[in-house]
Every structure is written in structure tokens, then in C-alpha cells.
Amino acid sequence: MKPSASLRTALSVNVNKVALLRNTRHLGIPSVTRAAEICLQAGAQGITIHPRPDERHIRAQDVFELHDLLKNWPGAEFNIEGNPTQNLMEFIRRTRPHQATFVPDSEDQFTSDHGWSFPQDAERLAPLIAECKALGVRVSLFMDPVPEQMAAAKAAGADRVELYTEPFAANWGQAGQELQLQVYAKAAQAALDVGLGINAGHDLNRDNLAAFVARVPGLAEVSIGHALIADALELGYAETVKAYQACIDDGVARRKS
């Protein structure tokens, strides 16, 4: 299948790291739902979360609050990532998001670092994929960029694959950059050829994103969290310091001499 060159790649903002910061106090700031709202108002097409079993960042309550926000936001996509053999399926059953991304992480995994393997994972994934689809939830499988794996992902019932992009990102600006672009383009084409849609994510950032979008065919969606939230902090420092300085100036001006 030859994808259209004008396909608009959707941006789904992963708000895990907003929750991580929020969880260091009992004040509810920064608000995860407010962050999601601002991202959608700014033009993001969706929100991604990865509620890990230890609730180190996204908590169960966040899942339900984001569900309430997104169901009233026309056109916005809610994508919940996780391991369907752990805590993911209960969230899927209760919220029926637009997309479930199955990720083969262990319970205490530092961060995602590999995709599913076929044929080993086929038997346990197939019924869970079928259940999601019966609930009206699109299923994407987190996969390493291996063309030979794509037919098996399709046979298990997946609608899309999410290409795990950390190896691409790690090679950005290095000698391996061009080779990585070719690897991902080939994997995406193999997925398209068997009728899968293409998502991608992990360590995508403002340096490496444009080349990835330009070179990987049929890229329907990227989910970006860590770098985007870090950039949001940095791009906001100056305005924020000015706002706090204005509060101090106001207080000084109100002092009784």
C-alpha cells in the first residue's frame, strides 16, 4: 500500500510527566486534566497516558478524569498505554478509549524499552485484542521496527503498530542516523503492506521529529511526552519568572511606608 504524502500525522501528548511532578506534593498541581486541556486547545489531536501498576505518575483517578474530559472534546483521541496482562484491561473496560496501546512492560519497568515478540506473544494477546475491538477500542501494538514481525501483529488482530523509536532517537545526530531512518521506513512499509496503521513514539523530540515524519511512510500518529513536557517547562520559564516578579513588585508597592 502506498500512503498519501499529505497524510496529517496526529500529535498525541503524553501527560505522564505532569502527573509525576504533581505526585511530589499533595496539592493537586500541576493538574493533569488542565495540562491535557491546554494541549488540546493548542492543537494536539489527542492525549496519551501510561497508567503503570505502581501509579508512579498516572493514577486511576487521572484515567477517569481524562476520560470525562476527552469524551466531551470533539475529535480528540484518548490513547491508554499499558500491559494488558497487568492493569490495562480494567481501564479499557471502564473507559473504552479510542485507542489502547499494548506495551510489554514488566510491573517495575523503568520505562518502555522493547516491543512485543511474535509468535511467542500471539496466543495471550489475541483474545485481549478481540475484547478491545468488541468494546469498540482500536488496538495498537508497541513493536520494535522489524518488518518480519508485522504480519504476525496483524494476524493477532491489531489495527495499528506503534514503532518503538528510542533506537532511532539515540542515533539522532550520530553516524547511524540515516540507517535508522531506513530501518523505520522499511518497518512501516511492511506494516502498511499487511494493512496495519502506523503510530510511533518514545524519545521523539523537536530535533528528530521532522525527519521521522518526513521519512516514515503512513505515519498516522506520534505520542510524545518526556521531551514535550520538558520543553513546555523551558519555554515557560521566562514568562513565569516575570509573573512571580510582578507579584513581588505588587507586594512591595503595597507596603505601608
Ligand X SMILES: NCC(=O)COP(=O)(O)O
202 is catalytic: yes
3-state helix, strand and coil shares in percent for the chain, rounded to the nearest 5: 45, 15, 40
CA dihedral 115, 116, 118, 122 (to 10 degrees): -160
Instruction: Provide the mask over 224-243, with x wherever binding to ligand X is found by CB under 6 A and - wherever it is not.
Output: xxxx----------------
Residue 22 backbone phi and psi in degrees, to 5: -55, -40
**Contact status: 201 vs ligand X (CB under 6 A):** yes
- Residue 156 contact partner, candidates ligand X, ligand DXP, none, CB within 5 to 8 A by sort of partner: none
Catalytic residue among 50, 77, 162, 221: 50
Instruction: Provide the mask over 160-199, with x wherever binding to ligand X is found by CB under 6 A and - wherever it is not.
Output: --x-------------------------------------
- Residue 224 contact partner, candidates ligand DXP, ligand X, none, CB within 5 to 8 A by sort of partner: ligand X
> Is 255 annotated among the ligand-binding residues?
no
> Is 165 annotated among the ligand-binding residues?
no
Q: What angle separates helix 88-95 from helix 60-71, to the nearest 10 degrees?
A: 30
Task: Look at the chain and count its residues.
Answer: 257
Whether 147 and 186 have beta carbons less than 8 Å apart is answered as yes
Q: Which of residues 5-24 bind ligand X (CB under 6 A)?
A: 14
114 is catalytic: no
98 is catalytic: no
> Is 173 annotated among the ligand-binding residues?
no
Q: Is 255 left (phi over 0), alpha (psi -120 to 50) or beta?
A: beta
Strands (E), 59-195: 77-82, 99-102, 138-143, 160-164
Q: Which of residues 52-111 bind ligand X (CB under 6 A)?
A: 81
Question: Could you give the residue numbers annotated as active site?
Answer: 50, 81, 202
Cite the annotated binding site for 3-amino-2-oxopropyl phosphate by residue number.
Answer: 14, 25, 203, 225-226
